[in-house]
Chains A and B, each alone.
Chain A
Amino acid sequence: MTSIILVGTPDSGKSNYVARFWEAVRQGRSRIYSHTPPDDLEYVEELLEHLSSGEFVPRTNKSDTAITRNITIPFAPADSMEEESNLLIPDVTGEIWSTAVEDFEFPENWMRQLRDSYAAMLFVRIGSELNTQPLDWVTARELLSQGVVSEGNPQAIPTQVSLCELIRFLEISLPPRKDGKLRKLAVIVTAWDRLNVEESALGPKSFLVSNFPLFAGKIENCRDLDIKVFGMSVVGGDLEEDPEFKEEFLNKGFSGSGYVVTEINGVLEWDPDITLPVAWLIEKE
């Protein structure tokens, strides 16, 4: 069994991806195909109900921290009779990853799961209200001039620091591959549709360099993981801010909706197959 763990702080797009991934696998026109539908579809179907009604999956309620959902979707590469792997989705609220970043604490059961994972996907969402920018110079100067540690310091850990730390956790915890190759990590930049044409044309790596330079540097120079960056829009547009797109989506449905942006030899490619990152993670080279 092969497990791929999804990593990301709250509102990074994990749950929307889970839902869309299942629908893509179910439709049978993607690189990943499920020979055997999972027995337990309750959770993914709940997620899909949101998308089907033209709504993004809401953030998991913070009070649901204790609720964990292990979803197992048996899958295999299309046109393959390979033994199915399982996409193991520990779609726990991102709060557990946030706590790991803040306090370095991680529940034992999840650590076991992490150490059993074959590969990982790390999510960051464009335009999330929870994305925190690095300190500006004025604020930093003011904070340093304070004689004591600020009580209840309102400055949150910048998102790019959190992302670097999450990669570090994966470097430490993902088990070595039996074939001796580097362990794989797919970085998914979600809500790609929120960029304008010029920004989008630069590609996901450039987006990270411009917006999260520490994270981009960590990715570029990571020696312990094979990292590939993907841009992604799970339905191809903004269901919240674009009423016209929402209407079009509700008329058309999931077929043909959504895309993945990759960079191959410096050339950007838009691919309608949402399962592409997972296919890359599990491909036999």
Chain B
Amino acid sequence: MALTCNQPLCTVSQTNLCMFNHPVESCPYRMAPAGTAPQDQQQESTEPKAVEPDLLPSLRLASDFPPSFSLGLDDLPTLTKKSYHRMIGIFGPPNAGKTALLVSLYLMLSHSSLEGYSFADSLTLREFDDISRNARQWANGAPEQMTAHTELSDARNAGFMHLRLKQSNTDNLFNLLFPDLPGEWSDTLIDKNRTDRLQFLKGADAIWVLIDGRQLLEPTKKINVLRRTKILIDRFAAFLKENSPPLSIVITHRDVAPPPDTSLVTLEEECKSYPAAVKIFEIASFSHDPAIKPGFGISQLLEHVLSTPKILKQNLWDTTSSLKAEREFLNFGCQSEES
């Protein structure tokens, strides 16, 4: 039986999640299902109702501001019609450092320490801040799909994070979208070639593949890490084909130690089959080494993307997809970038 709610922004009918975190069975805003017989409605109305917070009637909450959590697929067409947005897909197994990279980027902006760039705006500022304070995590395991809309939720959703940066030496403005995906999606891409939920990557300006640098230092783990990275790169190449964007191999935890030269050579060799440019970076989102500042390498990683010419994205109609939002999203690359 479909759940409905009299709060306009509550998405319980799609998500089964109450925007006020009430148990859905006893939420005071839950509406009786259509077709419920009057006696059944009467029966429902005798259920004890949750007590409203201590508010005067004039303060009863009836209108809200849209949250600044991650954007959904359906949120993007309107956004990207106004100006060019560079999308950077960040992939890598769980614990490779994807979240740490985003948090580090956010903290550098918060402290005005991102070399070459400053903060101009973000539509997902609370998402960045909540993730940095560990106030938001994937709920009940990884989500299965990209979220459709910005959702008011305590849990982290698979969606897009947004930043607008100003380049210090030119005053040029850049809009960035980072798909925020759980590491499990990279694993299933490797293990199951699951690409159905990654159609948006056909409009990506760059892909960052993260490798936990600490594992490259462990002889018993290094080989498998490099193997699976190669498989991941091959998956992207097969899936994206002529739409393959430039790819960056991002080796994290540089503060622990530099990666072995042999690993770098292996990676360079394995990337030769990728149909677009590949470059390797080393970063330290956080640092235990006083000689290496937190955020090491991230500015260079970003600069590499932003100095690359914009991609003229084709209208890649996917005739097998029934998701209109994905089609609209793929149209977003044709507007001029702000400057």
Contact = CB atoms under 8 A, between A and B. Distances in A.
Contact of B118 (A65, A109, A168, A217): A217
A208 B8 CA distance: 37
Contacts of A144: 99-100, 103, 132, 134, 286
Interface in A130-161: 134-135, 137, 140-141, 143-144, 146, 148-150, 153, 155, 157-158, 160-161
Contacts of B287: 137
Given A144-B99, A149-B135, A161-B129, A66 B59 contact: yes
Contacts of B64: 104-106
Contacts of B122: 164
Interface bracket on A:
35 or more
Contacts of B63: 106-108, 111
Given A104-B65, A105-B61, A209-B112, A214 B119 contact: yes
A194 interface: no
Interface string A152-181: 010101101100110011001100000000
A66 B126 CA distance: 27
B110 interface: yes
Given A153-B135, A168-B125, 17 more contacts: A104-B64, A104-B66, A107-B58, A107-B62, A135-B110, A137-B107, A141-B294, A143-B133, A150-B134, A150-B135, A157-B126, A164-B121, A165-B68, A169-B65, A214-B109, A217-B121, A218-B120
14 contacts: A104-B152, A135-B133, A137-B286, A140-B107, A140-B133, A149-B135, A149-B136, A157-B129, A158-B110, A161-B126, A213-B112, A213-B118, A220-B120, A220-B166
| 10 nearest A-B residue pairs (beta carbon) | A217-B119, A213-B112, A108-B62, A134-B110, A221-B120, A143-B134, A111-B63, A155-B133, A141-B286, A137-B294
Interface of A: 65-66, 68, 100, 104-109, 111, 134-135, 137, 140-141, 143-144, 146, 148-150, 153, 155, 157-158, 160-161, 164-165, 168-169, 172-173, 209-210, 213-214, 217-218, 220-222
